Structure 1
Amino acid sequence: MKKLVAAAALLGMMAFNPIVGKAALGDHTLKQGMTSKDVQQLQTVLKKKGYFTYKKTTTYYGTYTKSAVKKFQKAKKLKADGVAGKSTFKALGVKTAVKSTSYSSSGLISTAKRYMGVPYRWGGTTPKGFDCSGYINYVFDKSAGIDLPRTVSGIYLKGTSVSTPKAGDVVFFQTYKHGASHAGIYIGDHKFIHSSSSKGVSIASMQNPYWAPKFLGAKKI
């Protein structure tokens, strides 16, 4: 009976004091208007480097923080938009991590198909034009809030390898150079959606005589 009472008490404590996992600085993009401890950590790093000059750090990403980030980005010749994303954290020396997470494969694919017909553009990362990795980055961020590395080779280093791809997994190909150089999102039925240099965002078959011999592997992000 005493054990039952103790167990009930423990469950009660857990209900009122849930265990919350903590993400490391750099795991999420930070921008103006956000409030979190990550913002304060960002300010501290910028302060040590001489860019954040406000008298004290806070958890709010306001105009002072945005201004400090922009100054740092300009100094490092990055896109000076005042948003602390992957490239900014990397320049700051903050290691970022992309972890396998659960997301809706149907939602991801639905988002991916929304941009069918968008033209290919080298270095493109927006619906005005995508290259293959820019497209995958955009879809994962838009659909699942996942910030992936910018290049195909970088994305290939992340996630978990799978022997047989499932809908929502990323499939990789070795095309013009050794290693992963092209990628798309597997949508099932031996097909994947990608930004092709010849057709833009389109669907192709894994069994296509061009793609089949170039298939390198698949990963679940």
Structure 2
Amino acid sequence: MRKFFRVVVFSLFLASAGTLTCAEAAFHQGDQGQDIASIQAQLNALGYNVGSVDGDFGEATAIAVGKFQRDRGLENDGVIGTDTYRAIMGREIPVSRDGSSSLVRRVVQSSLRYQGVPYVFGGGSPSGFDCSGFTRYVFAQAGIYLPRSADEQYEVGQYVSYSRLQPGDLVYFTTYEAGASHVGIYLGNGQFISATSSRGIAIARMDSGYWGDRYLGARRVL
């Protein structure tokens, strides 16, 4: 009966994940990474001062984008969508990675498959996982190789703001020590899956009293 219940829940989750389609590619305030640095450099070259080219879409960059949009007759929303990106960079915006991509589905499906596997400190196989061993193993099944520890994994990929989390993102928490000491995989709808010492591989809510108070940040490697 328990196995049947898991299959039903798994099927319902995949069905809901299928609704995460057609997300328009865009860069927003709070985003970070090399794409943002390239945009900043181009805005500076065009005479729209963003200050330091640091790859951080902060207030100065948002103001510069707004001025550029006004001058070019674009929608003045401070968001770098398809039209604004094309006008700034002279090429099409990179395709957005959304929850319907095959790679994301592979990671999500793999993570759900191990629900109930016990927690083992230092574990990195289906016989037992710790938190970073679990994420490393699941991503390796999709051909993506992460460092071993949670704090090392926190240094890879692109920073993602809480409001823009997508399935497959890595989410980090501060638990038994300062910094990124726990990591899980975001599933969507405010939920993530991780290896916990109390329940093994289990799904939890990001905004629960325990995890919500300990949330540190997120990274996107897909």
Q: What TM-score bracket applies, with the shorter chain setting the length?
A: 0.5 to 0.7
Encode CA deviations 1:56-76: one digit per residue, 9 max, x unaligned.
xxxxxxxxxxxxxxxxxxxxx
Choose from 147, 155, 160 the match for 1:149.
147
1:159 corresponds in structure 2 to 157
Report deviation, 1:103. Answer: 6.1
Name the larger-Rg structure: 1
2:178 & 2:123 partners in 1: Cα distance?
A: 22
Q: Residues 4-15 of structure 1 correspond to what in structure 2 (within 5 A)? A: none
Pair 1:171–1:196, CA change in 2 (3 A): same
Paired positions, count:
120
User: Structure 1 counterpart of 2:187, which letter?
Assistant: I
1:216 matched to which residue of 2? 216
Matched residue, 1:183: 183
Q: Please give the alpha-carbon distance, in whole angstroms, between the structure 2 residues aligned to 1:174 and 1:132.
A: 12
Say which SS state the counterpart of residue 152 (structure 2) adopts.
helix
Shift of 1:136: 0.3
Q: In the aligned structure 2, how far is the partner of 1:178 from the partner of 1:129?
A: 25
Q: How does 1:131-150 map to 2 (within 5 A)?
A: 131-142=130-141, 144-150=142-148
Alignment of 1:50-89 (within 5 A): none
**Alignment partners' CA distance in 2, 1:115 and 1:168:** 15
Q: Matched residue of 1:148: which SS?
A: coil
Deviation at 1:118, TM superposition (A): 0.3
Q: Deviations over 1:103-126 (max 9, x none)?
A: 621211001011111000000000
Q: Tell me the distance in 1 between the aligned counterparts of 2:174 and 2:119.
A: 19
* Aligned twin of 2:173: 173
CA distance in 2, matches of 1:200, 1:133: 13
Query: What aligned pairs does 1:73-112 form with structure 2 within 5 A after superposition?
Result: 104-112=103-111
Q: Scaled by the length of structure 1, what TM-score is found?
A: 0.53
1:201 and 2:201 are equivalent in the alignment? yes
Matched with 1:122 is: 121
CA distance in 1, matches of 2:135, 2:108: 11
CA distance in 2, matches of 1:131, 1:140: 14
Q: C-alpha separation between the residues in 2 aligned to 1:145 and 1:113?
A: 17
Percent identical across equivalent pairs?
Answer: 47
Residue 210 of structure 2 aligns to a residue whose secondary structure is coil
Aligned counterparts of 2:139 and 2:220: Cα–Cα separation in 1? 12
Gaps of 5+ in 2: 1-96
CA shift for structure 1 position 147:
1.1
Shift of 1:135: 0.3
**CA distance in 1 between partners of 2:175 and 2:102 (Å):** 29
**1:138 offset after TM fit, Å?**
0.3
2: distance between equivalents of 1:104 and 1:145? 9
SS of residue matched to 1:110 = helix
Question: Residue 155 of structure 1: CA displacement?
Answer: 0.1
Deviations 1:145-194 (A, max 9, x none): 11110000000010100112110000000111110000100000000000
Matched letter for residue 180 of structure 1: A
CA distance in 2, matches of 1:139, 1:209: 27
